[in-house]
Amino acid sequence: MPIHQTSVPHHMTHTCCYIPAHVHFAFEGDAVVFMNLLTDQYSLLLGKDARAFRSMICDSGAGGVRTIGVPEHDPANPDTPEYALLRELQANYLVVYGQEGALAPTSVRLPRPEETLLSPDDFERPECRLIDILQFMKSCVLTAGRLAFFSVEHTLMNIPHRRETIGAGRRISLSEARRLVGIYNYLRPFFPKACVCLFDSLALLDFLAHHGCLPYLVFAVTLEPWEAHCWLQYGAVSFNEDAERARTFLPILTV
């Protein structure tokens, strides 16, 4: 997640406001896009509001706490643009008063995807064992249940821990990953759920993880036209999205 940090000008002061762990954001030109895992919503600031937000972000400091700085409060002028923006951010749970829970979440930096793991021309019927079919069904059922009964934030929290269990530095075999993604793609029509990028990325991630293969999950957006999307990626290889299309998106979070 590209967080642009700036030094606080001499006329600015730290407030007791912080960007909470459930909020991720990225800048593109004169815009800032927020991804709120608590409410599972995206929001957008444009123009002067985006520039004001950029200027309010303070140095993370020790522990990665993301702090908001605003001009010193003037009782004679309580409705400055900065304070109006701050109240709007607080109302949308994008900024909180307390520092607790405001530690910056870990987000991995990946290169823009240059290669697609499986192109449409690569499709062929894979060899599916019974264990593959059972694991596919288990991954789909579990993912559907998690999305139905838990927040996206809760669902994503388990991914870093699972990666540590498998081995954070473990190298992924792309040939094995290609085989597994081929099996998932072949079996997917047999699971009665519409194809949605979040469900399929999480279900595929779970399926791959059971074979010791755990790529990264990338959340990204495009502004014109507006679209929120996610896919799996390892290095510069996109697992379940065309690399050329994926490059048109602005990444916000990678877990």
The dihedrals phi and psi of 242, each to the nearest 5 degrees, come to -65, 130
Does 141 share its domain with 247? Answer: yes
Does 144 share its domain with 75? Answer: no
The answer to whether residue 13 scores a pLDDT higher than 50 is no
Secondary structure of 57-91 as H, E, C letters: ECCCCHHHECEEEEECCCCCCCCCHHHHHHHHHHH
Does 128 share its domain with 83? Answer: no
Domain-located, residue 108? no
Domain-located, residue 230? yes
Helix axes 197-209, 152-166, angle to 10 degrees: 20
Question: Side-chain half-sphere of 215: how many Cα atoms within 13 Å?
Answer: 30
φ/ψ region of 130 (left if φ > 0, alpha if ψ in -120 to 50, else beta) reads: alpha
Does 33 share its domain with 87? Answer: yes
Domain-located, residue 2? no
Does 140 share its domain with 219? Answer: yes
Domain-located, residue 96? no
The number of distinct structural domains making up the chain is 2
Q: Helix, strand, coil % (nearest 5) of the chain?
A: 40, 25, 40
Place of tokens 């793991």: 117
Domain-located, residue 103? no
User: Which pLDDT value is given to residue 232?
Assistant: 97
Give the pTM. Answer: 0.84
pLDDT digits over 56-89, tens only?
Answer: 887 554 455 678 876 666 555 666 777 888 888 9
Confidence tier at 50 by pLDDT (50, 70, 90): very high
Question: 141 is in which domain, residue-wise?
Answer: 115-254
Does 190 share its domain with 249? Answer: yes
Does 75 share its domain with 134? Answer: no
